Structure 1
Amino acid sequence: METVIDRRPDLAVLSFGLLLTYVAAFQMFKLPAALPVMIAEYGYERAVAGAFMSVYAVAGLLLSIPVGRWIQQGHPKPVIYAGLAAMLTGNALCLHRPDSSAMMLLGRGLEGVAYTVMGVAGPVLVNGQAPPGRYPMVISLLSLWIPIGQVAAVLVYAAMPDEVGWHGVWWAGSLLTMGTLIWCAVIRLPGVDVPPMPTRHLSQGEGNPAAGKRPASERFLLFAVTLVFLLWTGQYYAYMTWLPQYLVEVHGFSLSASNAGYLAPVLVIVVFNIATGFLLRMGVRIGVLFSVGASLQAVAWWMIPWTDTPVYGLLSLLIYGAAAGISPTCLFGMTGMVAARSGSTAAGFGLVMSGRNIGVLAGPILIGYLFTLSGTWNGVSPVFAAI
């Protein structure tokens, strides 16, 4: 028996879900733009500096699945409120004692709690309101959350006067979070004020959370997507966390020039995110597109020993950006399809975000360790190309 639920998507809820992810990405990636200055000013060790990114993942590992379950139970607003409050508290701690590595880790850890909440709630809300005919394009917009956060962080940092510096980026993050908190207070969210909107036809026993446990094949697919997301995220966060520092050390870039170089692959990511959405809508197979993206990223990692020349350096950045635009669109699309087909989308996204958080935790620390071990950036190339 098939139940057809005809309900128009709520564009306000969809937009709010996208905003949650974009603000979360801004908060996370406000660090790399300022990292060279902060290392010079406060003398952080490389492993500690990498941990300022990776600590986000600790909260994610502990909370992604519970957050998915809490949202699944129909209570997204209290969870989102708690996350936004944690973000504001973390911002305040980082601003209060940036000279203390322990305090910075604690502050970034609280930001990571909020990032986890926003990183699960946002995709769930977006997935729930995506018009079926526009699903690939909506997922393309969702997969833009990281590059949009990166671009915004660099632009905000560049706009800050020298006397304000990196502190201004943290204050900007707090203002964005407060604005998101206000919107959360006035918007009507599925599961709280209005019933949730399924995005697909639900057959009895299939695609219905009430129908029981996921079939073994679906659980296998979900775990496979989780593992792939883990590996892909690890190499991406390693690359993007340390790219500005690499440009300063290897190419002698100034801070502003390193941030411009950092933006080059990110802007290419945006273009290829959108292009991938169009290709998926045209019927190109998602597995084929992901294979192309992952292969190109491996090529970019292998090219690192030759990127000390301007031409190869720029080519490497562009190749990596193109690949990193294709892959996440495919990964979010896979997650949405597998999770919604035979169980709760919220719980499915929670599981996948747990895998993603392991990648966030391991990637930046691993690349710092490999650099320390080999004494050169070339030493990280084969390991991350293999990943």
Structure 2
Amino acid sequence: MMLHATRFVLHLVEGRTMARSDPHTPARPAATAAAAWLILAVLLLFSIAAPLNQFKVPPIMPLLMEAFGLTVSGAGLVMSVYAVTGLILALPAGLIYQKAGPRLTGIVAGGSIVLGSALGALSSGTGALLASRVVEGVGTSFMAVLAPAIIAQWFTTRQRGTAMGIWAIWVPVGTAAMLILAPALAQAAGWRSVWWLGAAYALVVTLLYLAFVPRGPAPRTSSPQPDRAPAGALEGRPDQAVTSAQVLRNRNIWLLAGAFAAFNGAAVGLGTYMPTFLTSQHGLPLAQAALISSILTLVTIFSAPAGGVLSDRIGSRKKPYLVGLAAAIVLLPLAGAVSVTGLIVLVVLAGLFLGIVPTNIFAAAVEATGDERQGGAAMAIIMVGQNAGMLVGPIIVGVLAETAGWPAAFASLAAISALGLLSGWLARVR
């Protein structure tokens, strides 16, 4: 009954009017702006399940180290193995989405996260815990490709930056929620309760996604070959759609993936160890350390959408993400050299600048294809970069923290961010 009711609501919303985009964009039959925003809201709630589960490790890492007898770098592996799965599956996930469509891909994404989190809650050894993280990583691989591809088809070029900016808060919202909730929950009911919470949320939003997302393809928001394609977009005959193979050979999308790899390496490298750094070096209680660590992600909840609106207004995706990467070079290395008060100021500033990076890289990658229907393939390439960064970043920071100290570990984030700035600058996108 609930499933039929929600589909009826979506049908009413879609059927109210017809919408057009810019002059070169064909009409979107049976698709209204209201329907697009409703789909975006559902996608956001669904997507949050991935970071909510991925980032449940950092806020309770000391408890996991004690429970499983792990070192700092060993605990970082619990984060990195998640990224290994994403790195391996990123390209296949994008191609599978292009063939399977949004509903089947959504079932795989949500179902894998539910199953993996439940298996993790039942694990009794390090091997079982790592295996469960691999299963969760499968779900996140599909989730990261799924949502931007759907958004690209439901929103016009003029609205896409704003829509991507709103969806881009999926990671900070999920991360911040766990940073705030996990310590108190783990101390009250044990670390396994955090895993059960992640499984329960993923199950609920998967059902919500299946209730609202239409079975058929989304309406077109632009022609396969627009009259004025964005810089770096693929070119072809006007009557010929862009193929996935062409997208996979697009140099500009791979350069954007390189920039995003560096961004994630620096951001996740910092976020993974920040609670542990604050408890071990500044003597803060775990809950307080996790709360301070959450400030950066809380700020990006506002800066990510703002970055999308800004890019739509100035007509550029490249300028905002370059500014964000440049700020990371300056700000992130200071984390190991300031007081707790200084660190709070630092993470606020970092959140303001870092939040605009993912929004604009996502939008630039989709637009570089020249055909939003290939958004899944473009995002698959971007996810290769994301997972490579998430894999390498925590390893670099963890090893340096053990061998050279925390200041050296955080200083490495400047070099990582500089590589991202270079890669992003070389990409020919608008």
- Once the two structures are TM-superposed, the CA of residue 200 in structure 1 deviates from its matched residue by 1.9
- Once the two structures are TM-superposed, the CA of residue 219 in structure 1 deviates from its matched residue by 0.7
Q: Are residues 1:40 and 2:70 paired?
A: no
- Name the structure 2 match of 1:324: 354
Aligned match for 2:296, one of 265, 273, 282: 265
Greater mean deviation of Cα atoms: 104-113 or 336-345: 336-345
- Name the structure 2 match of 1:274: 305
CA distance in 1: counterparts of 2:368 and 2:91, whole angstroms: 16
Q: Which residues of structure 1 form unaligned runs of 5+? A: none
- Once the two structures are TM-superposed, the CA of residue 29 in structure 1 deviates from its matched residue by 1.1
DSSP 3-state at the match of 2:217: coil
- Name the structure 2 match of 1:335: 365
Deviations 1:273-330 (A, max 9, x none): 13212312321633222222112111123323421x2343223222222222121222
Aligned match for 1:176, one of 180, 201, 204: 201
Correspondence list, 1:277-288, <5 A = 277-283=308-314, 285-288=316-319
Q: Are residues 1:112 and 2:134 paired?
A: no
- Name the structure 2 match of 1:290: 321
Correspondence list, 1:200-239, <5 A = 200-203=222-225, 205=236, 210-212=241-243, 219-239=250-270
Sort the Cα spacing of 1:209 and 1:357 in 2 relative to 1 into closer, same or farther, 3 A: farther
CA contact (8 A) 1:64 1:350 kept: yes
CA distance in 2: counterparts of 1:209 and 1:377, whole angstroms: 54
- Name the structure 2 match of 1:382: 411
CA distance in 2: counterparts of 1:225 and 1:344, whole angstroms: 16
- Name the structure 2 match of 1:361: 391
Sort the Cα spacing of 1:339 and 1:240 in 2 relative to 1 into closer, same or farther, 3 A: farther
Sort the Cα spacing of 1:208 and 1:111 in 2 relative to 1 into closer, same or farther, 3 A: farther
CA distance in 1: counterparts of 2:263 and 2:132, whole angstroms: 26
Q: Are residues 1:70 and 2:96 paired?
A: yes
- Once the two structures are TM-superposed, the CA of residue 153 in structure 1 deviates from its matched residue by 1.2
RMSD between aligned residues: 2.5
CA contact (8 A) 2:333 2:412 kept: no
CA distance in 2: counterparts of 1:49 and 1:182, whole angstroms: 32
Identity %: 23
Greater mean deviation of Cα atoms: 331-340 or 248-257: 331-340
DSSP 3-state at the match of 1:160: helix
DSSP 3-state at the match of 2:369: helix
Q: Which residues of structure 2 form unaligned runs of 5+? A: 1-23, 227-235, 417-430
Sort the Cα spacing of 1:162 and 1:226 in 2 relative to 1 into closer, same or farther, 3 A: closer
CA distance in 2: counterparts of 1:206 and 1:87, whole angstroms: 41
- Name the structure 1 match of 2:57: 31
- If the length of structure 2 is used for normalisation, what is the TM-score? 0.81
CA distance in 2: counterparts of 1:147 and 1:69, whole angstroms: 27
CA distance in 1: counterparts of 2:218 and 2:240, whole angstroms: 13
How many residue pairs match? The answer is 380
- Once the two structures are TM-superposed, the CA of residue 362 in structure 1 deviates from its matched residue by 0.9
CA contact (8 A) 1:3 1:202 kept: no
Greater mean deviation of Cα atoms: 16-25 or 235-244: 16-25
- Once the two structures are TM-superposed, the CA of residue 156 in structure 1 deviates from its matched residue by 2.7
One-letter code aligned to 2:144: G
Greater mean deviation of Cα atoms: 223-232 or 164-173: 164-173
One-letter code aligned to 1:175: A
- Name the structure 1 match of 2:15: none
Greater mean deviation of Cα atoms: 214-223 or 227-236: 214-223
Correspondence list, 1:117-136, <5 A = 117-136=142-161
